[in-house]
Amino acid sequence: MHEVHCWDAATPLEETLSALTDLVRSGKVRYIGVSNFTGWQLMWSLDVSEAGGFERFVCLQPQYSLVERNIEREVLPVCVEEGLGVIPWSPLGGGFLSGKYRRDEEPPEGSRISEAVESMEEYWDRRATERNWATLDLVGRISEETGKSYAQISLNWLLRQDGVTASIIGARTLEHLEDNIGASGWELTSKQVEELSEASAPEDVYPYRFIRNAQRV
């Protein structure tokens, strides 16, 4: 599969889709996907593919985790409605959900987050918010209840979300890989999933808040 890493404002969309279509129809790649698009960019791409007879994106690789859920506003609904697979990257928030970070302490030296600069999604000030700490506290409580690791709980929650096909794990060591694989083969309870979802919910903003309130009976 060939993937478009990010939206390209400098290149006509038809040109990009035409090139990708040539790759598929010449047998060089089987499918095409996309990463780091907004909802309107993804939907526009699908519409242009249909109108122009181009190959269609079949999956999306977005950032998605308990500490980054903004794709739920527009991007994830597009994928669900249009039948695209969703394969999240950074499912542990750059390691924040691994359990090795502590409130009011600097990130461990040599960790991914400690090395992240402001332009990176894993930047410390972006991760160390009160909502994220509250989410991490809850993950810790559920870890004690279940005997599962922080990473296993966070990944299990992610795999339970509508539209998610699989998760991309970025294990640095064999130990991390084995721990991440342990996120499968069991399930959080519905109550635990609900608690995690409530604790980590994105800010309720307009127009989503307005639309939801307007539709209440």
User: What letter does residue 71 receive in the DSSP assignment?
Assistant: G
Question: If we measure between CA atoms, which residue out of 103, 116, 77, 21 comes closest to residue 208?
Answer: 77
How far apart (Å, rounded) are the C-alpha atoms in residues 112 and 170?
11
- Residue 48 vs residues 1, 20, 91, 110: alpha-carbon distances, Å: 20, 13, 30, 44
In the structure encoding, which two tokens stand for residue 211, read together?
């639309």
* Confidence (pLDDT) at 217: 54
- Alpha helices, DSSP H, located in 65-109: 75-82
Residues with Cβ within 8 Å of 11's Cβ and at least 6 positions away in sequence, in order, are none
Q: Determine the 3-state secondary structure of 176 from DSSP.
A: helix
How far apart (Å, rounded) are the C-alpha atoms in residues 180 and 154?
10
Residue type, 71: I
Q: Please provide the size of the chain in residues.
A: 217
How far apart (Å, rounded) are the C-alpha atoms in residues 96 and 84?
28
Model pTM above 0.75: yes
Cβ atoms within 10 A of the Cβ of 154, count? 31
Residues with Cβ within 8 Å of 191's Cβ and at least 6 positions away in sequence, in order, are none
Number of H-type helices and E-type strands within the chain = 9, 4
How far apart (Å, rounded) are the C-alpha atoms in residues 59 and 144?
35
The pLDDT tens digits along the chain (217 residues) read 889 999 999 999 999 999 999 999 999 999 999 999 999 999 999 999 999 999 999 999 999 999 999 999 999 999 999 999 999 999 999 999 999 999 988 888 888 898 999 999 999 999 999 999 999 999 999 999 999 999 999 999 999 999 999 999 988 889 999 999 999 999 999 999 999 999 999 999 999 999 999 988 5
